[in-house]
Structure 1
Amino acid sequence: MDGQHRAFRPLLRPLFRPLFRPLFWIGAAIALAGVQSGCREANISSPPNPVTETSPSSAVKSSTAGMALPPNFVVQVVEKVGPAVVRINASRTVRNPEAESPWGRLFETPQQDGNSERVDRGTGSGFIFDEKGLVMTNAHVVDKADLVTVLLKDGRQFKGKVLGEDPLTDVAVIKIEASNLPAIGLGDSKDLLPGEWAIAIGNPLGLDNSVTVGIISATGRSGSDIGISDRRVRFIQTDAAINPGNSGGPLLNAMGQVIGVNTAIIQGAQGLGFAIPIDSAQLIAQQLVANGKAEHAYLGVQMIDLTPELRDRLNQEEQLKIDAEKGVLVVKVVPNSPAAAGGIRSGDVVQAIDDRPTRTTDDVQQAVEAARPGGIISVKVKQRGEARNLRITLGKLEPEVLVRDRP
């Protein structure tokens, strides 16, 4: 960042803070008393047929009328797909307990061996999406785990191998060696509408095979909307109750198809849960199975939505002479990044990418995510009052870049 614009970074810093509301990753529940606790490609199961009527033996009896009642659609879904929902126990040995552990922040694990070593344990959920033993869950459930164990509803227990995890979308895939496995069909999350039924199955707080029901509250929630602006996911919002331990479990439609992967809740709120759309999760899972990692395009800027109030404030206090009415203000350009090489500068206003207007930071993120590493995008910017069209070759986002480049 040049000297002209370095000064306005402290001014903008408070503007970023509201984005980071308390968000609680729901990956682990109580695992122990006193402890808070080679496939080349994915063979994704096709969506199942609509749930059919179950046999009379599975009917629910009324305790008041003394007569048999047909099971509702939730009972049918749970009977059909419940056996494919699994519990995931993960443990991780921390060699330097004094270093901050993201798991320790969630569940206050006791220190052992005179603070020389500690074992963090957590419990999450997952689901079998391929009969060959592929299990989908959240990346934060198995992050840096030394040992992963997968427990099925029928009592079987298997050692799991993490094929890959993607922190940017919070998707991970585990492989277990087993036969006669149940699998859940994957649905379609592109055309979900608020008000549709939503069913969550998982292991909240260690209570295995818990079922909750609600609706789709909203779709297309950006990471910025819920306080995790570095996540490239358009989240599904649901009011189906999800709690610590539900992470990685399926969010299902009324047909029993997976439409999302439960991932987060907002602390202190009720009925505000979020899931990764299965269309996005499936694409990432395929890359993890095939390559052990997922690739994301990288631009290398930090941004904030430009408003008239922000523009006037910067023009008055920082003398930046921003004349654009709307767009996305570039706060920082990462050195040696594709953005820097392509000519983007701090203080620029991004107005369009590939001729599509960019009104919010999420618009920019989605445009970059839709491209592939090595792809070329056309970026229209206002730079010191002058309109410019820049051609930028995108890079590949590495995990260390993700950490370093956060606001």
Structure 2
Amino acid sequence: MKAKQFMFGLVLSAVMGGGIAIGGYKLLDDQEQAQEVQSLNQNVRYSSLLRNSDVKVPEGLNFITAAETVTPAVVHVNTEYGVQASRGGSRQRDMMDPFLRDFFGDDFENYHRQQGPSLGSGSGVIISSNGYIVTNNHVIDKADKIEVVLDDKRKFEATLVGTDPSTDLALLKVNANNLPTIRYGNSDNLRVGEWVLAVGNPFNLNSTVTAGIISAKGRNVGIIQATDDKNNNVGIESFLQTDAVVNPGNSGGALVNLNGDLVGINTAIASRRGSFEGYSFAVPSAIVSKVVDDLLKYGEVQRALLGIRMQEVDAKLAEEKKIKNLNGIYVVQLTENSAAQAAGLKAGDIITHINNIPVNTSAQLQEQVARYRPGDKIKVTYVRGSDTETVTATLRNRMGDTNVVKREVAKAITFSGAKFSPLSKDELNKLNLEGGAKISNVRSSEFKNSGIEDGFIITRIDKAKVEKPQDVERLLKNAKEEGVLVEGIYPDGRRAYYPIGRG
């Protein structure tokens, strides 16, 4: 029988009331074949496993204390989306339309045509007594309204402090004090086989607690599709894999150890049918705490980069490059003006440790680097030929320096004979956009001659993303002499493309 292939889905809850999980699978075999298995020894004798009359619970397997400690600090996150958002769809829904069609069947088109606001729900974790709550970005993405319901049934409208799509995390704030909290645990100390509890609100079943073990660490399943302005995937995945039962609505909920310490935020499941089938995935607390600290201090996550293009060392690469040891990460290429280049790393080096911690997968290396900020120093151990060396690398930001990246507030600008304005939240939701620049007062010949009308929203210039008006100025100033192709959309939904000459 051929193997089955699973596709991984976010434990999505912000699609419909009650939430669903998006998942899919491909069966390479045509059908299941049941086989009758007979014992080779028909004379089987059974004996009781309980040789003594006393039944003792193994030490450490009492989940009651952890469950009672954690449950009050896990909240229900309800979201509401406007009519246009429900018809136009969110970013995650657009990415996963094929799975939605499979899930809803004949009702898919009715789902598309539904009127009125769309509701969603998920979970969140209170991390400070004055009302800060961490959840998944996909739970609240593009929501018009976010409501938090505490375990004691109190309700609060939440404000969004910040998000980090690259780790699928978001930080909320409610106006309350003296709230129960969950303290951070050390996800690094988790061991495969260790017991953990998942706490959340699956299928709107409030304060549900399930138990399982850590099945694997540093798992990359390819579901976070965050991109930068050059369309490079910058998603960071180094999930904790568990067999604790997690279902739609658990997104953003807590994964805790038996002390009740937060070791992860439940995020995804592996599923054929959209519900739990054996494995779930959580963002480790080491990443969660760093993202939260950045959002609180800077308003934006300070992403540190080593600046390499890498490949995991496997048998094929080892044979091709004559590598003796299959451990480590192969450096394919260095980014110009990067931390790796400044530290003296070269293409062909094999990175084996970051700060004395072994890294054998790209997910493990990304997780280690993601814990730091630009300007922080890390020790990189690598193999070059038959020599093993350790160097200190000063991490840099996406601009290639060590400065703090501050969150920019988009403002309208006048440039090249036209005014460019940022989009309102309503405009973004209505047109299902992440950003753009709306043009008005078109006076210059280059824009007029191209046929661009007032109200046109520029989303890309020569395939580069436009998220704010300043991007238009930057991209046009750096444009080729022969001109650029401007892509965008009008407020009525019409898409258009215009060549802009620079001569």
Give TM-score, length-normalised by structure 1: 0.65
Secondary structure of the equivalent of 1:190?
helix
* Corresponding residue to 1:289 among 281, 296, 304: 296
C-alpha change, 1:255 and 1:121, in structure 2 (3 Å) is same
Cα displacement (A) at 1:217: 2.9
User: Is the partner of 2:158 in helix, strand or coil?
Assistant: strand
Q: 1:325–1:359: structure 2 CA closer, same or farther, 3 Å change rule? A: farther
Partners of 1:36 and 1:107 within 8 A in 2: no
1:207 corresponds, among 193, 205, 208, to: 205
After superposition, give the CA deviation of every residue in 1:21-71 in whole Å (9 maximum; x if it has no partner): 6221113167438x859xxxxxxxxxxxxxxxxxxxxxxxxxxxxxxxxxx
Within 2, Cα distance between the matches of 1:146 and 1:31?
Answer: 14
Q: 1:344 to 1:100 in 2, by over 3 A?
A: farther
Within the alignment, does 1:262 sit opposite 2:269 as a pair?
A: no
Aligned position for 2:429: none
Q: Which structure has the higher relative contact order (CA within 8 Å, separation 6+)?
A: 1
SS for the counterpart of 2:302 is: coil
Q: Is the 8 A contact 1:132 1:179 kept in 2?
A: yes
In 1, distance between residues paired with 2:214 and 2:355? Answer: 32
Deviations 1:230-289 (A, max 9, x none): 554543222110012101111123333322211111223733112222233123212212
CA contact (8 A) 1:27 1:248 kept: no
**Given the two structures, how large is their TM-score scaled by the length of structure 2?**
0.54
Distance in structure 2 (CA, Å) of the matches to 1:247 and 1:84: 15
Q: Which structure 1 residue ranges, 5 or more long, are not aligned? A: 1-19, 38-71, 314-321
Give the distance between the partners of 1:119 and 1:303, measured in 2 at CA: 44
1:26, 1:245 within 8 Å by CA — same for their partners in 2? yes
Cα distance in 1 between the residues matched to 2:251 and 2:192: 22
What residue ranges of structure 2 are gaps of 5+ in the alignment?
A: 22-60, 102-107, 225-233, 400-404, 406-433, 435-463, 465-503
- AA aligned opposite 1:262: N
Asked if the contact 2:162–2:299 (Cα under 8 Å) also holds between the matched residues in 1, the reply is yes
Alignment-derived partner of residue 350 in structure 1: 350
**Superposed CA RMSD:** 4.3
Contact 2:10 2:223 in 1 (8 A): no
Count of equivalent residues: 331
Deviation of the 1:381 alpha carbon: 7.4
Where does residue 159 of structure 2 map in the other structure? 161
Does the 8 Å contact 2:381/2:388 carry over to 1?
no
Paired with 1:103 and 1:143, the residues of 2 have a C-alpha distance of 11
Matched, 1:83 2:72: yes
Q: Distance in 1 between the 2:355 and 2:66 partners? A: 44
Answering whether residue 221 of structure 2 is matched by residue 217 of structure 1, we say: no
Shift of residue 336 of structure 1? 7.1
Task: Kindly indicate whether the alpha-carbon contact (under 8 Å) linking 2:185 and 2:263 is maintained by their aligned counterparts in 1.
Answer: yes
Larger radius of gyration: 2
Question: What whole-Å deviation, never above 9, does each CA across 1:304-348 have from its counterpart, x for those lacking one?
Answer: 2233523545xxxxxxxx454455344565677666788877x63
CA distance in 1: counterparts of 2:196 and 2:74, whole angstroms: 16
Task: Give the 3 Å change call, closer, same or farther, for CA 343–132 of structure 1 in structure 2.
Answer: same
Give SS of 2:153's match: coil
Distance in 2 of aligned mates of 1:391 and 1:78:
43
* Structure-2 change in CA distance of 1:391 and 1:264 (3 Å): same
**Kindly, what percent of the aligned residue pairs are identical?**
33
Matched residue of 1:174: which SS? strand
Q: Which segment drifts farther, 265-274 or 24-33? A: 24-33
Cα distance change, pair 137–379 in 1 and its aligned pair in 2 (3 A)? same
Pair 1:396 & 2:397 matched: yes
Question: Are 1:223 and 1:232, in contact at CA under 8 Å, matched by a contact in 2?
Answer: no
Determine which of 26, 38, 41 is the counterpart of 2:11. Answer: 26
Are residues 1:303 and 2:303 paired? no
The letter of the residue matching 2:158 is: G
| 1:271 equivalent in alignment to 2:278 | yes
Aligned to 2:123: 125
Rounded to whole Å, the distance in 1 between the matches of 2:80 and 2:301 is: 24
Letter paired with 2:92:
P
Pair 1:386–1:241, CA change in 2 (3 A): closer
Contact 1:23 1:267 in 2 (8 A): yes
Could you tell me how far 1:214 is from its partner in structure 2? 2.1
Amino acid at match of 2:76: R
Aligned mates of 1:382, 1:366 — CA distance in 2: 23
- Asked if 1:365 is matched to 2:370, the reply is no
Q: Which deviates further from its counterpart, 102-111 or 186-195?
A: 102-111
Q: Is the 8 A contact 2:287 2:370 kept in 1?
A: no
CA contact (8 A) 1:307 1:325 kept: no
* Cα contact 1:324–1:382 (8 A) shared by 2: no
Assess if the C-alpha contact under 8 Å between 1:184 and 1:258 holds in 2: yes
- The verdict on how the C-alpha distance between 1:155 and 1:22 changes in structure 2, with shifts beyond 3 A counting, is same
